[in-house]
């Protein structure tokens, strides 16, 4: 592979916006998934410190849905894009 | 000593009948005798007299931020079509970006709401409990038994606090014990009075 091939390859890579976005999304989604897991864990933990029977299950469910949404987006980016 | 044949209610039943309990709402910031509320290490017969949260008006900054974040993508779409017409993405990629973006916005709302929702002050018939959720990884739980309370004071600072009637409550003990502080709770005068009545002191401004 000579210098010209390398330049052509780089130009082809940089012109494929979709591929670049896919890489960026994966890089952002992985730490965000960690944040979502910590948030859900903390909500469950705080639910033990203070429990309001009529609403605590809702906020816990929302935190699980948030984690599932992040996993769904991550799988979509990896498998579909 | 009950008379012969006299029916006497147990002490707990007498107290419960004296104060009617009501289910507490999701966004309640000041609630007396809440039903369906409990906290860690609550005594078997310990009754919650007052549930406090920061006034709802304190949520306005993050609610406005969330609304602002939610309308960013449509604005960005218009601007990018005007200034970067050569920059095009497939529909699938745009869908992934938007889904991720709105998941992050939802995460922001969930985080901010949780910080407000779990940041509570509780006044029971035995103690004052303050659960401070500082951020997602830090919380501070402090409690003071009513017997140890030396002074209860409140403070309202600023136009917003005066207009919406919220402020800080300071429950002070002697120097060897920690103090409890509720910040931005609604109706601080009434809160101070309720705690003072339980303790048997006069509230101080």
Put simply, whether A19 touches B (Cβ < 8 Å) is: no
The CA distances from residue B166 to A19, B57, B179, B198, in Å, are 52, 9, 20, 21
Which residue of chain A is at minimal alpha-carbon distance from B38? A51
Sequence-separated (6 or more) residues with CB below 8 Å from residue A18: A81, B89, B90, B92, B93
Look at residue B189 and give its three-state secondary structure. Answer: helix
φ, ψ of residue B6 to 5 degrees: the values are: -80, 135
Least-confidence region, from A41-45, A58-62, B4-8, B109-113? B4-8
Positions of E strands within chain B: 22-23, 30-32, 34-35, 37-39, 48-53, 120-124, 127-135, 138-145, 149-155, 166-173, 180-186
Q: Binning pLDDT at 50, 70 and 90, where does residue B14 land? A: very low
Look at residue A80 in the predicted model and tell me its pLDDT: 82
pLDDT for A64-78, tens place per residue? 999 999 999 999 999
Percent of chain B predicted with pLDDT > 90: 45
Q: Binning pLDDT at 50, 70 and 90, where does residue B3 land? A: low
Look at residue B177 in the predicted model and tell me its pLDDT: 66
Which residue of chain B is at minimal alpha-carbon distance from A17? B89
Sequence-separated (6 or more) residues with CB below 8 Å from residue A77: A22, A25, A26, A29, B96, B100
Look at residue B204 in the predicted model and tell me its pLDDT: 64
pLDDT for B100-155, tens place per residue? 999 999 999 999 999 999 999 999 999 999 999 988 888 888 888 888 888 899 99
Burial tier of A61 (Cβ tally within 10 Å: 0-12, 13-18, 19+)? exposed
Contact B205, B155 (CB under 8 A): yes
Look at residue B199 in the predicted model and tell me its pLDDT: 84
Question: ipTM of the predicted structure?
Answer: 0.86
Q: How far apart are CA B195 and CA B33, in angstroms?
A: 13
Q: Binning pLDDT at 50, 70 and 90, where does residue B13 land? A: very low
Least-confidence region, from A4-13, A37-46, B32-41, B177-186? A4-13
* A contacts of B26 (beta carbons < 8 Å): 52, 54-55, 58
Burial tier of A51 (Cβ tally within 10 Å: 0-12, 13-18, 19+)? middle
Put simply, whether A42 touches B (Cβ < 8 Å) is: yes
């Amino acid at each position: 592979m000579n210098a010209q091939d390398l330049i052509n390859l780089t130009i082809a890579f940089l012109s494929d916006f979709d591929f670049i976005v896919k890489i960026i999304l994966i890089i952002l989604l992985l730490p965000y998934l960690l944040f979502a897991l910590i948030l859900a864990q903390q909500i469950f933990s705080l639910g033990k410190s203070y429990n309001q029977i009529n609403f605590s299950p809702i906020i816990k469910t929302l935190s699980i849905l948030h984690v599932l949404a992040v996993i769904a987006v991550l799988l979509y980016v990896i498998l579909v894009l | 000593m009950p008379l012969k044949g006299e029916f006497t209610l147990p002490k707990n039943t007498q107290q419960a009948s004296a104060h009617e309990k009501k289910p507490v709402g999701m966004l309640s910031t000041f609630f007396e005798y809440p039903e369906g509320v409990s906290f860690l290490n609550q005594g078997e017969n310990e009754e919650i007299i007052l549930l406090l949260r920061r006034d709802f008006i304190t949520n306005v900054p993050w609610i406005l931020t969330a609304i602002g974040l939610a309308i960013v993508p449509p604005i960005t779409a218009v601007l990018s079509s005007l200034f970067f017409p050569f920059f095009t993405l497939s529909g699938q990629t745009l869908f992934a970006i938007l889904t991720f973006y709105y998941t992050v916005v939802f995460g922001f709302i969930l985080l901010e709401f949780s910080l407000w929702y779990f940041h509570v002050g509780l006044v029971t018939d035995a103690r004052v409990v303050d659960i401070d959720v500082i951020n997602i990884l830090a919380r501070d739980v402090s409690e003071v038994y009513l017997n140890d309370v030396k002074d209860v004071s409140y403070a309202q600072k600023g136009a917003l606090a005066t207009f919406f009637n919220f402020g800080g409550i300071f429950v002070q003990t002697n120097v060897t014990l920690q103090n409890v502080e509720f910040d931005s709770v609604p109706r601080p005068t009434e809160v101070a009075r309720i705690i003072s009545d339980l303790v048997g002191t006069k509230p101080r401004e």
